[in-house]
A and B are shown apart, each in its own frame.
Chain A
């Protein structure tokens, strides 16, 4: 290739472009928004330090997510886990943007709570696939597990989310029946 990529500039661009999704992933990993703040900041600095490694076929968004997860697992998890467990009992529902009506808000709160109360492995998988739109195989590569594991984690998560959806469907039926 005749043209040398300016990797630092690309990484800086990617950090700005993907800071929200890295933060969300940090929230899913840790269960706490202050830890998510720290994770985004550490991820950005680490990515910048490693910018000249960006020559492979990796996408920068998934590269950032992988860095975030590795910082979480290797450096922060052990000291945050007690806090995360405490918080996962009462997830920070105030993070959800208010919807157009109170029913929407109740439903969103239930979904948010249910997702945040999933076990960590399911939670990170749900975040990557359902929220960030990575394919099963992309998520499998990022989390370093077989694709079948991704699918079974999602199946388990769906079983728990199903109860929220059924409540909501029942509520709507009740309302429209009146």
Chain B
């Protein structure tokens, strides 16, 4: 059965009779897409979320025992970090050689991203375990949530990897996606620190990629398409709504 937005909203507001409400609930049980639609329409969720998101005001202090043994140099994190920093270094070196003006983080990230081709991301391990580890690491570096649920449900984009990078000592997280044709797409967040100026969304083509950048509450954000023609509107609306601070 197909439900209109009106019907779903009436369900959410408690204005359907019991039979109709039951029909919606039964349908949602078997239909994750309908569930996502229903959740997106719920006017109560953002209201409650806004009140509770700042609770507690500070991250609670957690007292953990020191690691029993420090890990030897292995581990995929280190590999990611090394691979990433080598790539950034190589790109930066080339760039610095040809252009004297200092670049912002967004330009640098766009250059790095412009080297991605479908093959770069085709064989990435995006199993839940791999993503769990990457997100835990990235969120710990960044000091905030990456709203993984939002990133995993972007229409037409398959979440491939979250990678920790760094720009001038600031943690920079690159989240890579594949679009339906397997082309790379990316979303980057940098922690700029308290007092960094907020910036409205700015659309630009950087290094041949359509980009949207904005900044708020000490974090900078950038969305990068696979070429200069990509329409970023849909993703931008969702991400700008989800990453408000």
Contacts and interface: CB of A to CB of B under 8 A. Distances in A.
B128 interface: yes
Interface size class of chain A, counting residues whose CB lies under 8 Å from the partner chain:
35 or more
B62 A24 contact: no
A74 interface: no
B28 interface: yes
A27 B150 contact: no
Nearest to A157: B44
B47 A165 contact: yes
A40 B60 contact: yes
Given A23-B56, A136-B39, A59 B28 contact: no
Contacts of B139: 13-14, 16-18
Instruction: Tell me the interface secondary structure of chain A in the complex.
Output: helix
B199 interface: no
B231 interface: no
A146 B26 CA distance: 11
Contacts, number: 169
A10 B137 contact: yes
Contacts of A101: none
B67 to A, nearest CB: 7
Interface string A49-84: 000001111111100000000000000000000000
Interface of B: 12-14, 21, 25-26, 28-29, 32, 35-36, 39, 42-45, 47-57, 59-60, 62-65, 67, 71, 74-77, 79, 127-129, 132-133, 135-137, 139-140, 145, 147-150
Given A14-B136, A95-B57, A111-B47, 5 more contacts: A10-B137, A15-B62, A16-B140, A44-B63, A148-B25
17 contacts: A9-B77, A14-B132, A16-B59, A23-B60, A41-B62, A41-B63, A44-B62, A57-B129, A59-B148, A115-B51, A130-B45, A135-B39, A135-B149, A136-B35, A137-B35, A147-B29, A165-B47
